[in-house]
Structure 1
Amino acid sequence: MELRHLHYFRVVAEELNLTRAAERLHMSQPPLSRQISQLEEEVGASLFERNPRGVSLTAPGQFFYEHTLQILEKIDSTVTATRRIARSKRELFGIGFVPSAFYGQLPLLVRGLRQKDNVELMLAELTTIQQVQALKAGRIDIGFGRLQIDDPEVVQEVLYEEPMMAALPENHALEGTRPTLTELARKPLIVFPATPRPSLADMVLGLFHRRGLKIEVAQETNELQTALGLVVAGLGFTLVPEQVSRLKRQGIVYVYLADSSITSPVLCSRRKGEAPSATMQDTNEILRVLMENRRAERYAKGSRE
């Protein structure tokens, strides 16, 4: 399947008439009909119903049309952004991140880098493993995740250890307490992300398994927001890093665990042995200041015990 097939399909879907579509595409009708037939053969579904007055989209055709629009719009925006970067001669700097790391210092880092006139940021939501792969392929320049990955081409730095908290529905029996894992194991657990693995989900499940605790998994979901929504719905609880508690959501309460040693690391991943660019140097300096501020704020709060 080629890009032109999608373009042809979109025009026919908009005109619902092969003659008008061919005129719009500045081609004759027979070649256009052949291209559409080839596309249908490759997709394995009839995309149009042919009738004397023209054509109409089938149910698969309507589905294919909606997704074709998204693909073509994404391509158009990518081409436009590429041209803008080429004209401005700005450096493209890619940042990968896991969603649970985006409620703390990471937005402040992004804000600081956006103030640089010579940088075009590209943000990508990726698991830690995907970040390592993207770093090695050159698709991103730095990643923020939670899993230790042993790879000779990537170096990881632990920025800080973050306490884990239980997200509970309002008026839960454990609200206002510091529950133990034994107490939580009696309740159904909502796990995220479901895929790809390994991920934060395996770290959470491992907390119970290493203590010989059996835990009922009520639901697995890929999205943090969905997991929190399921908590509100009363399907169970979920364990989240502390910074997620900054996300004030109606119907949810967050409680610290009895065992304050249960933490999740926030890791920064970079390519190993690569001389830092000017933007990477700026990134490292912003991170240094943010980590100093975080430590100062933590100590200023005093103990959580």
Structure 2
Amino acid sequence: MELRTLQYFLTVAQELNITHAARKLNISQPPLSRQLAQLEAELGVSLFIRGKRKIQLTEEGKYLAQQAEHILNMANHTTQQLTQMGEQTVKGFLSIDVTETCSASILPDIIPIFQKRYPLISYDIWCGNSNDICQRLEQGIAEIGFIREPFNSSNFEAVSLKKETWIAVVSKDHPLAAQTTIQLHELCEEPLFIPSRQPLQSEIHNWFLEISKPCHVLCLYNQIASIIPLIISNMGIAISPVSVKRYTDNGKLAYLNIIAPEHISFLSMIRKRHHVLPTNAEVFWNFVLEQNL
């Protein structure tokens, strides 16, 4: 299976029309049709349901389209990185994966300074949860990740960068909004929004067990931006790292430090273990290590 054939297939999958795809690829329609037929024969599956004017993807076709996009992106990324390594210059796209709150907590303190020192660098920043980021680093899609502990570190080289407290986020209209602190036991009966990632769920439940009381979880979230409108509408209280304050609207929200007991989480920079980083990523990794976050 050649990369060129995958590009042909992916273009047809996106256009869902052989004529339009051939025009986009700047080739005639018969050779394109032959390439697709040969690909189906090679794989032993039907990739398309062919209609008179439009085609549709089979389930196998949908899967291959997903994988083809990943393979072609990886091939392009590899070519770019090898070119940069050969030139020994610090430039090109730097792939960074980051969680939502780690982005707010870490990147503003690093990227502006790094950009002044290395102005030829551009950035490909992808946001997801820690599990997704670990998977993408293992697959070689990204080079460096910033995630929140805990995580399975067996496949990664990790550096702990900073720590954060967890806070309660409430609507300005909530009865607790006038407070600046809240004791953990005061949250036990409140409808809570907590992170969906299992290790963080466990941490929060264990936190409440420290005071021998369960918590009432109304909602799990993987990106806090998705539930902030619900908090503003006074549906409940979000438990979140304090860095949420850096990118939410304090005109509509109040932030309460949770005490008695306080809870700390740690933020780490990670890379795949035994993985050779491209020049720009290696320079970035070492730059972050030099910073006093």
Shorter-chain TM range is: 0.5 to 0.7
Is 2:179 the partner of 1:181? no
Corresponding position of 1:298: none
Match of 2:116 in 1: 115
Residue by residue over 1:164-223, the C-alpha shift from the partner in whole angstroms, topping out at 9 and shown as x without a partner, is: 21111231111112222222121111122x24x32x333223212333222222222221
Please say which structure displays the higher CA radius of gyration: 1
Q: Report the CA distance shift for 1:47/1:214 in structure 2 as closer, same or farther (over 3 A).
A: farther
TM-score normalised by structure 1 residue count: 0.66
Q: Partners in 1 of 2:272 and 2:12 — Cα distance?
A: 44
Which residue does the alignment assign to 2:105?
Answer: 104
Distance 1:84 1:209, change over 3 A: same
TM-fit CA distance, 1:12: 7.8
For 2:31 and 2:274, locate their aligned partners in 1 and report how far apart those are by CA, in whole Å. Answer: 57
Partner of 1:294: none
Residue 229 of structure 1 is matched in structure 2 by 229
* TM-score, normalised by the number of residues in structure 2: 0.68
Which residues of structure 2 form unaligned runs of 5+?
none
Question: What is the alpha-carbon distance in structure 2 between the residues aligned to residue 124 and residue 278 of structure 1?
Answer: 19
Q: 1:81 to 1:167 in 2, by over 3 A?
A: farther
- Whole-Å Cα distance in 1 between the matches of residues 131 and 237 of structure 2? 26
AA at the equivalent of 1:97: V
Q: How many Å separate the matches in 1 of 2:238 and 2:257?
A: 12
Give the number of the structure with larger relative contact order, counting CA–CA contacts within 8 Å between residues 6 or more apart. Answer: 2
Paired residue secondary structure (1:257): strand
What amino acid maps onto 1:166 in structure 2? A
For the aligned residue pairs, the C-alpha RMSD in angstroms reads: 4.7
Q: CA separation in 2, counterparts of 1:112 and 1:133?
A: 28
Instruction: State the distance in 1 between where 2:265 and 2:19 align.
Output: 58
Q: Percent identity?
A: 16
Q: Distance in 2 between matches of 1:79 and 1:135?
A: 14
Q: Which residue is equivalent to 1:283?
A: 288
Q: Where do residues 1-305 of structure 1 align in structure 2 (5 Å cutoff)?
A: 4-5=5-6, 7-8=8-9, 10-11=11-12, 14=15, 16=17, 21=22, 24-25=27-28, 27-28=30-31, 31=34, 34-35=37-38, 42=45, 47-49=49-51, 51=52, 55-58=53-56, 71=69, 75=73, 78=77, 81-82=80-81, 85=84, 89-91=88-90, 95-117=96-118, 123-125=125-127, 127-128=129-130, 143-148=145-150, 151=153, 156-177=158-179, 178-192=181-195, 194-195=196-197, 197-198=198-199, 200-249=200-249, 251-259=252-260, 261-269=262-270, 279-285=284-290, 287-288=291-292, 291=293
Q: Matched residues in 2 for 1:20 and 1:152: separation?
A: 44
